[in-house]
Amino acid sequence: MDHRTVLAVMLSTAMTTVLNNVLVAASVHNVLYYGAKGDGHTDDTQAFLKGWNAVCADAGAPTLLVPSGTTFLLSQIIFSGPCKAKIHIDGTLKRPNVVWESNEQSWILFNGLDGLVIDGYGEINGQGLSYWDCKIRNGGSGHVKGITFEHINLTAVYNPIIIDQYYCPNQVCSNKTSAVAVRDVKYYGIRGTSNQRIGINLRCSQSRACTGIKMQNVIIQPASPGQQVEAYCFNSHGTDIQPVFPAVPCLVS
């Protein structure tokens, strides 16, 4: 084997290694691959959960992709960890126009996640009801950190932006505070309308403050003419970069 052959083998091996590293580092799990229809009528909840489970089992830097040109009808869904991943939304997520029988009326919930990023240029259509919440069960422990919500459009939803450490779905909770540490939660480029007066609600534990909250280019307007939208804070700390509306009193510009 002459030096040219050796060089060719080395280059081929190097290119294969780089390509494999790129594929591992940026693996994309399209929800359509897991049976989602995206027709706006079929319930795609189970397909999303299958895709999410695959993402959480991925050792690389996985992304759950919601592709453009599609509308996915989702019932109540919980994205549970442990999992460090990204959800990229270019299509539309649509909530059924129903009232669920359970006490929990939130639509999309996240649990046990570290470093979650949610971005894209799609739309979250709550049909006038709650969309997703960062809720911490009353009396829980651990941490919620490094979650990013980015470039999300909201249409007539309740709780557009909420951190709630007093979450008690069954109204029977023995502890009034939470031992969960919430930090480094970021909201970038969030636009939309709220169906309730409190459009930004940062309600953190009296015993453990939320820290490192960041907002930039966040505009939440009232869904109906004549309504007002306000922000509420309790034991929350962070920064904002204008424009941010409504004004969030606990964030420093």
Kindly report, residue by residue over 142-168, the tens digit of the pLDDT.
567 778 888 888 888 878 888 887 766
Q: In the chain, where does DSSP find H-type helix?
A: 3-25, 45-56
Q: Where are the domains of the chain?
A: 29-252
Q: Dihedral angle at the C-alpha atoms of 248, 192, 123, 83, nearest 10 degrees?
A: 10
Characterize 117-145 residue by residue with b for buried, 16 or more Cβ atoms within 10 angstroms of its Cβ, and e for exposed.
bbbbebbbbbeebbbbbbbbbbebeeebb
Of the options 2.40.50, 2.160.20, 1.10.287, 2.30.29, the CATH number for the domain spanning 29-252: 2.160.20
Kindly report, residue by residue over 58-101, the tens digit of the pLDDT.
988 899 999 999 999 999 888 887 888 889 999 999 888 776 66
